Structure 1
Amino acid sequence: MIKRLLLVFYFMIAAYEGKSAGLFRDSTLFSAHQLKSDLQYFKILMEKAHPSLYRYVKKDSFNKLFEQASQRITSATDEFDFFQMLQAINSKVGCGHTNLRLSIAAQRKLWARNIPMLPFYISIDSNRLYIQRYIQAPGAAGYRINDEIMSINGLSAREILTKTRSLVGSDAHSNAYKDYRLEKGEFNWLYACIYGNHPEFNFVLKRKGTAISITIKSVVSTKTFKPLKEQEIADSLKLSFPPNLRSTAILKIRHFKDHDFFTDNRLIFKRLEDQKIEHLVIDLRNNPGGRSDMAIDLMKHLIGKTFRFSKQMEAVVDIAKFSALFVANKSPSLAVLKEFPHSWHREESVWSRRQEPYKKQFKGKVFILVNGGTFSSAALLAIALKTQMECLLIGEESGGGSWGCNGGKVLNVNLPETGFQLSLPLMWTYAINDLTNTGMGVMPDYYVKWDIFKVDNPKFQNADPLLKKVAALIR
């Protein structure tokens, strides 16, 4: 399980334009012809089927990225450098659902490496880096939680953060989902892959206004690094009644993928009614999304009038026919791909239709907690509730875009030469709101930041600053 999670973190990383510092010298080499062939295949695939390719990047700029990449391919290149080249392009699209992964063979090679990694997780606040959580106990090195990182191996933290942010995919132009991914451990992977194999790390830290220089020999490596586990393995819904909050229930929704969601949801709202709960906190933090029908079911318990979950869905290919080209992990030829019809059209979906509420709704005050991990259908739910009912959003900007997102149907495609795997969304969903497209996530009414590692840990609930804000608003 840990190995799978480890690899997922690396596969999602975007790239830099240089080489990978000799980390992968025994990786497979592909000829310039093979690489240019896959580069062209990737370009045509995106142009043909991505539903919002030019929403956040201009067509001329997109084409220029491919021209520059093609010019850099002059000789045989290993799979890791080419992977980085493609990710550098992919990250510009502004879609957190479009992900590129290494081939299975390359994944195994990566796992076999023993590259030293940073000995702690980082947090990001106001464009600054901080030590957030230990992976390796500091010992005599003396680094501490909340120390600000000023530089690593002579490079400023600002420079490193700018680089890593620019290499991570995210919805629209927002940094919210980028920072969430970096804080979960992707920063550690990116640093190791970008800046090379360092047996020691030289840090300049700031603590209470004083600069401290330390050297750390990390025992953490690509073989031992354990990224933050997703909460998807747990039950979707968890209801609690904090004793320090008067007549209040907290409904934690970890994801929208649990098949028991509808039954559990009905029982939960019956319990809220029986206990005469006046304040409901819906916690969508670190929620990656999932099934829209589950989000709609929740809305039926909250909104006492006809409502909609989303405005409309659209695509640029016939989804069923296009998907049929890629059956059994096979990819059509470039000629077949070029000839496939491409035209914008609306996708009919029950999720975009008007929905009727249940006979009974929760009548009390509703507070919604969001952060950079509130993504996909969870972000769509947050903006739909904020637009159509009286509620307050507390937390941070959501990782999912406030204007909408790609998803719905996601196609997995293997690039013919390298075997790289692309997750390609085929539908775009417009969110329910009357805002202009600012390229940002859903913004809270009250901004409050909290450690993503503590969000799902019950022992930290009493220290949660978002719940403290709720308590202040209830009084």
Structure 2
Amino acid sequence: MKKLTSLLLISLAALCTYGQINHNDSKFSATELKSDLAYLKNQLYTVHVDPYTEFSKAQYDQLFEAIDKKLADSLTATAFLKMIKPVIARLCDEHARADLPEKLLWASYQKEDVFLPITLSRQGSAYRVEKVLSTGTGINPGDIITRIDNKPITELLDQCALFSSGYADQRLEKAFLQFGYLYTWTLPGIQSSYAIKTAAGRNVIVAGVSLKTWEDELNRQTGWGSACDEKISYQKIDNAGYITACSFNIPPKQLDSIHAKIEAVFEQVNKDKPDYLFIDISKNSGGQSVVGRMLIDGFNDKPYSGFSSNFKKSQDYINLLKSWKVEADDYYKAAPEGKVFHFSSDTTFPPEHNDKRFKGKVFIIVGNGTFSSAMMMATWIKDNHLAVIAGETPRIGHPNGFGELYNTKLPNTKINLLFGVKQWIRPSGDLKDNLLRPDLQVKLTDNKHELINSVLEKVN
């Protein structure tokens, strides 16, 4: 409780820096902002499956009240977004986000070089510059830094974590990887340069970089920005077959065609007769979980346990489904508002007769870009021992988490809101270790020959 209280104080203290900012961007009245805040509070309390994972309702009430008191003057949508991001962070929902389309952000964010260009890592008790996203800055990878803009790094990392999403340790991980991007978001105004103090006593002024520079870096970290012209592709490499599944984001109307594509891939695999089959989901941000099941059916004939789940009833979610021309199940519609259904783990029985099924050794390649339904596929395989998981431990995605995504917009500022109405619990039921740990830890590379050899060396 003491820890949560101190965390709440950090959240409240962060609010104190926000006030009216002189920008040419359109502003919203205090009344409009308070209305948006009330809408946000209602959505989190009534629609999210479990908003109290980290904060109690009393702590959330206190946080909302503190924000409400700060809304005395008009603000831009971007300034208001900065105020509510810590609310989203406390959901512990790695899918959750509050954001604005780029064209609605402050003009300076869109057009000027105002983002701090560094990422960080920890080296013992020191903080090390991991990467610099510009040249000629006077700061280099490996430099130990102690303060930025005369504020201690430890304090800044805590603030940055509240502008990301996911569990507390996950948010801190993002604070390191996305440090310059998140730090810029924590600031109440715009800066074109940043004062950095090193452990060696140097004071360096570092110029900002563009939002595009940071967007490219974030895509590099996960691989989600890589070209993905074919969602599922296959090639024979020496004595191995290699399937790359770069996305499960398949429109419902195209599921039959992707199923046919996967069947054709496994037919080719069997014609090639490789000794090993690799399925790479290391840069897969998810989409339709059924696509993962299709891939599993291509090599597995054993029944396997699925996720258990908690699912919250809300009229707002029913209305969202209707807008997609989807009708909620009768049991769900008939339930009282706020009821949480618990569904035990089910068992999937693959088709008994599949003459295209591969019968050799299978390796599933995972990495930091393995997320959402791609993480579900990897967790099915890991917890049911269907194949060997190889690669790097994903840090952005977790086996247990929230899903079945709900989205809406705040009425006045039009800030986009996204979060889960379902909570997923991995097949093993393990709630303590919430990481997908590969059976074989292998450094990832885009060179598939090298990656295959690295995996097989671990096996042999």
Cα distance change of structure 1 residues 150 and 395 upon mapping to structure 2, 3 Å threshold: farther
Partner of 2:245: 253
Corresponding residue to 2:261 among 258, 261, 264: 264
Cα distance change of structure 1 residues 26 and 101 upon mapping to structure 2, 3 Å threshold: same
Aligned length: 422
The secondary structure found in structure 2 opposite 1:256 is: coil
Partner of 1:441: 435
Query: In structure 2, what is the Cα distance between the partners aligned to 1:248 and 1:156?
Result: 51
CA shift, 1:81, in A, is: 2.9
CA shift, 1:406, in A, is: 1.5
Partner of 1:287: 284
Tell me, yes or no, if the aligned pair for 2:364 and 2:387 is still in contact at 8 Å. Answer: no
Cα distance change of structure 1 residues 85 and 226 upon mapping to structure 2, 3 Å threshold: closer
Is 2:183 the partner of 1:191? yes
**Structure-2-length-normalised TM-score:** 0.76
Partner of 1:384: 380
Structure 2 residue runs of 5 or longer lacking an equivalent are 1-12, 220-224, 326-335
Identity of aligned residues (%): 19
CA shift, 1:45, in A, is: 1.3
Counterpart residue identity of residue 215, structure 1: V
Partner of 1:423: 418
| CA displacement 1:240-272 (0-9 Å, x = unmatched) | 4555xxx33333321112445323322332333
Cα distance change of structure 1 residues 217 and 125 upon mapping to structure 2, 3 Å threshold: closer
CA shift, 1:37, in A, is: 2.0
Partner of 1:331: none
Counterpart residue identity of residue 343, structure 1: K
Counterpart residue identity of residue 472, structure 1: E
Query: In structure 2, what is the Cα distance between the partners aligned to 1:129 and 1:219?
Result: 20
Corresponding residue to 2:92 among 83, 91, 94: 94
Tell me, yes or no, if the aligned pair for 1:24 and 1:80 is still in contact at 8 Å. Answer: no
Partner of 1:470: 455
The secondary structure found in structure 2 opposite 1:412 is: strand
Tell me, yes or no, if the aligned pair for 1:368 and 1:382 is still in contact at 8 Å. Answer: yes
Tell me, yes or no, if the aligned pair for 2:383 and 2:427 is still in contact at 8 Å. Answer: yes
**219-228 vs 82-91, which moves further:** 219-228
CA shift, 1:375, in A, is: 1.3
Corresponding residue to 1:38 among 36, 39, 45: 36
Q: After the TM superposition, which residues 301-380 of structure 1 pair with which residues of structure 2 at under 5 Å, given as runs?
A: 301-312=298-309, 314-317=311-314, 321-323=318-320, 341-345=337-341, 354-357=348-351, 359-360=354-355, 361-380=357-376
Is 2:265 the partner of 1:237? no
CA shift, 1:299, in A, is: 1.2
Is 2:267 the partner of 1:273? no
Query: In structure 2, what is the Cα distance between the partners aligned to 1:306 and 1:369?
Result: 22
Structure 1 residue runs of 5 or longer lacking an equivalent are 1-14, 329-339
| CA displacement 1:137-189 (0-9 Å, x = unmatched) | 33xx565455555544444444433332232012x4441x7646864xx5333
Query: In structure 2, what is the Cα distance between the partners aligned to 1:149 and 1:468?
Result: 39
Partner of 1:333: none
Is 2:293 the partner of 1:299? no
The secondary structure found in structure 2 opposite 1:97 is: coil
CA shift, 1:295, in A, is: 0.6
Cα distance change of structure 1 residues 146 and 268 upon mapping to structure 2, 3 Å threshold: farther
Partner of 1:7: none
Counterpart residue identity of residue 364, structure 1: G
Query: In structure 2, what is the Cα distance between the partners aligned to 1:198 and 1:345?
Result: 48
The secondary structure found in structure 2 opposite 1:345 is: strand
CA shift, 1:112, in A, is: 4.6
Query: In structure 1, what is the Cα distance between the partners aligned to 2:19 and 2:113?
Result: 12
Tell me, yes or no, if the aligned pair for 1:173 and 1:439 is still in contact at 8 Å. Answer: no
Q: After the TM superposition, which residues 390-401 of structure 1 pair with which residues of structure 2 at under 5 Å, given as runs?
A: 390-401=387-398
The secondary structure found in structure 2 opposite 1:227 is: helix
Cα distance change of structure 1 residues 469 and 236 upon mapping to structure 2, 3 Å threshold: same
The secondary structure found in structure 2 opposite 1:190 is: helix
Counterpart residue identity of residue 418, structure 2: S
Partner of 2:9: none
Tell me, yes or no, if the aligned pair for 1:313 and 1:352 is still in contact at 8 Å. Answer: no
The secondary structure found in structure 2 opposite 1:116 is: coil
Counterpart residue identity of residue 90, structure 1: I
CA shift, 1:414, in A, is: 2.0
Counterpart residue identity of residue 341, structure 1: E
Cα distance change of structure 1 residues 181 and 215 upon mapping to structure 2, 3 Å threshold: closer
Query: In structure 2, what is the Cα distance between the partners aligned to 1:317 and 1:155?
Result: 43
| CA displacement 1:214-244 (0-9 Å, x = unmatched) | 735536234765524423643223434555x
Tell me, yes or no, if the aligned pair for 1:383 and 1:433 is still in contact at 8 Å. Answer: no
Tell me, yes or no, if the aligned pair for 1:101 and 1:421 is still in contact at 8 Å. Answer: yes
**Structure-1-length-normalised TM-score:** 0.74
Query: In structure 2, what is the Cα distance between the partners aligned to 1:68 and 1:20?
Result: 12
Tell me, yes or no, if the aligned pair for 2:393 and 2:435 is still in contact at 8 Å. Answer: no
CA shift, 1:356, in A, is: 1.8
Counterpart residue identity of residue 471, structure 1: L
CA shift, 1:115, in A, is: 4.3
Query: In structure 2, what is the Cα distance between the partners aligned to 1:448 and 1:162?
Result: 31
Query: In structure 2, what is the Cα distance between the partners aligned to 1:249 and 1:205?
Result: 49
Query: In structure 2, what is the Cα distance between the partners aligned to 1:212 and 1:261?
Result: 58
CA shift, 1:427, in A, is: 3.2
Question: Whose RCO is larger (CA < 8 A, sep 6+)?
Answer: 1
Tell me, yes or no, if the aligned pair for 2:193 and 2:205 is still in contact at 8 Å. Answer: yes
CA shift, 1:395, in A, is: 1.1
Tell me, yes or no, if the aligned pair for 2:113 and 2:208 is still in contact at 8 Å. Answer: no
CA shift, 1:101, in A, is: 1.8
CA shift, 1:100, in A, is: 1.1
Over aligned residues, Cα RMSD in angstroms? 3.8
CA shift, 1:434, in A, is: 2.7
Cα distance change of structure 1 residues 60 and 278 upon mapping to structure 2, 3 Å threshold: farther
Tell me, yes or no, if the aligned pair for 1:286 and 1:373 is still in contact at 8 Å. Answer: yes
The secondary structure found in structure 1 opposite 2:105 is: helix
Cα distance change of structure 1 residues 445 and 92 upon mapping to structure 2, 3 Å threshold: same
